[in-house]
Amino acid sequence: MIQMDEKTVSSEMIYDGRVLHVFKDNILLPNGEPSIREYVKHVGAVCILPLTDEGEVILERQYRYPFHEVLIEIPAGKLDGPDEDPRAAALRELREETGAVPRELHYLGDFLGSPAIMGERIRMFFARGLVFENQKLDEDEFLEVFRMPFDDLIAEILAGNIPDGKTQAAALRVAALLAKEKQQ
């Protein structure tokens, strides 16, 4: 097996923000040559694909500043801290953003959106058996919650109309899971 590990020589935080922490590390490449890595540390996040008993996905339209546009996404949010249980965070975010409380919550795996520069790990979940209560948005959250048939979501993703990576990954994993369930 090829040696690929890079060794950290020194690490310097060059920005310490509320959500992002940017680092510049001096490293040694596998061949022993020096190099530099700049990357962002992030506490982590969760996303949830909530599916109603009628086969509709609960989605959100939300303005995303880096792109200056409104995107369609599944509910998601960052962990409150590095030790927060991702399952508890998923239940919290789903309840706050959509009012939905699931009877079933299944872990789908992790999504690493930009692993070359970003240390954000998004844990993906699939929620079913939804019961609806009141939405409890944070003061700085502005989003529109709506429903779309699951098959339409898959079609929109495959047509290139939903660019959000975590939404794509979770939806396609759920599609595979549901197809497997139908075969059993």
- Which residues belong to the active site? 139
| Cα pseudo-dihedral 19, 133, 86, 71, rounded to 10 | -50
Cβ–Cβ under 8 Å, residues 72 and 81 = no
Cβ neighbors of 63 (< 8 A, separation 6 or more) are 69, 70, 71, 142
d(CA 114, CA 58): 25
Cα 3 to chain centroid distance, Å, stands at: 30
